[in-house]
Amino acid sequence: MSDPLDRDDDADTPLDRGSSAPSHETFDPRPTFNVTHESTPSETLIAGFSSYGLAGLTAVDYLIEHLDLEVRGHVSAEGLPSITPFQKGRPRHPTRLYSADDVDVTVLVAEQFVPSVLGESLAKSVLEWTAANDVDEVAVLSGVPIPHGPDAHRTFYIATDDYLESRLEGADVPPMESGFLDGVNAALLERGMDSPLGVGLFVTPVHAQAPDVEAAVRLVETATDLYELDVDAGPLETFAAEIRRHYEDLAERIEEREPEGTYDRMYM
């Protein structure tokens, strides 16, 4: 496996914010998001967002690395505090779209944290883009901070009926028993219920320390099984360790900006 720190577009060197960084930031009451993509995307979008435990973000970053995907687009945000990751002196957009001509998925990696109250705006822009580009289904990989025992160390799903029929019949992935969603996950599933777009949210219990590597491994294994991707989740622990500092910085930003108690609530 190649060293992810040698990549031109997949691993970051975070900028030390220092002790003077503000602990709370304000947001434009009406932020806007715009999706730009350089080529026709796949019919399937797999997404990972900055959320508690960073398991989903770690998982999609790992998929990008091992599928040799290239940056083909990005999502710009107006009205949110700026975050500009960079690597080897080169800045890049914090929310990026990756594709390859010989891979049947497009991957969205969202390093910019979007508060739950603004998730609907982001989802709306992404969904307008998927509709305009004939994307048939969206899969989201995510960790959730729920009390759990060792038997719950697996991936669960919340999915629209059409996604369930096309991807999950016969799959070894159980449903999440009950609960509620908010933010971008809720908006994506709501749109999926009322349109031909199939949406599947894959969640797994996570721990506070980011990145939760074991949770990310479970998400990678689920995605590779469902989409028949040629990816081995075994080296993920080494991959995550090499970019741990970047993930720890993102985790600090999430803790600062997401009010306590606004996470999705789920029950197994």
Q: What is the pLDDT of residue 15?
A: 38
More confident residue, 262 or 220: 220
Q: Residue 101 falls within a domain, yes or no?
A: yes
CA distance 65 to 152: 28
Q: Is the pLDDT of residue 268 over 50?
A: no
Structurally, the chain folds into a number of domains equal to: 1
Q: What is the pLDDT of residue 83?
A: 78
39 lies in which domain range? 30-259
CA distance 268 to 168: 18
Cα angle: 198, vertex 201, 204; to 5 degrees: 160
- The answer to whether the CB of 33 falls within 8 A of the CB of 81 is no
How does 50-84 read in b/e, with b if 16+ C-beta sit within 10 Å?
A: bbbbbbbbbbbbbbbbbbebbbbbbbebeebeebe
* pLDDT digits 0-9 by tens, 138-162: 999 999 887 767 777 899 999 999 9
CA distance 174 to 155: 7
For the chain, the straight-line distance linking the first and the last C-alpha, in angstroms and rounded, comes to 36
How many Cα neighbours within 13 Å face the side chain of 218?
Answer: 22
Q: Is the pLDDT of residue 60 over 90?
A: yes
> What's at 90, amino acid-wise?
R
Average pLDDT rounded to a whole number, residues 109-117: 87
- The answer to whether the CB of 111 falls within 8 A of the CB of 95 is yes
DSSP three-state, residue 131 = helix
* pLDDT digits 0-9 by tens, 167-184: 999 999 999 988 889 899
Q: Residue 230 falls within a domain, yes or no?
A: yes
More confident residue, 56 or 260: 56
What is the sign of the dihedral through the CA atoms of 139, 108, 60 and 62?
positive
Q: What is the pLDDT of residue 116?
A: 85
Element holding 7 (H helix, E strand)? none
Q: Is the pLDDT of residue 27 over 80?
A: no
Q: Residue 141 falls within a domain, yes or no?
A: yes
More confident residue, 233 or 35: 35
Q: Is the pLDDT of residue 3 over 50?
A: no
CA distance 8 to 68: 11
Query: What are the start-end ranges of the E strands in 50-121?
Result: 70-78, 86-87, 90-91, 95-99, 106-110
Pairing of strands 106-110, 44-49: parallel
Residue with tokens 């970053």: 61
What mean pLDDT value characterizes the chain? Answer: 82
CA distance 188 to 182: 10
Q: Is the pLDDT of residue 72 over 90?
A: yes
pTM: 0.79
DSSP assignment, residue 175?
B
Q: Residue 134 falls within a domain, yes or no?
A: yes
Q: Residue 112 falls within a domain, yes or no?
A: yes
Q: Residue 7 falls within a domain, yes or no?
A: no
Q: Residue 19 falls within a domain, yes or no?
A: no
CATH number of domain containing 82: 3.40.50.10900
Q: Residue 13 falls within a domain, yes or no?
A: no
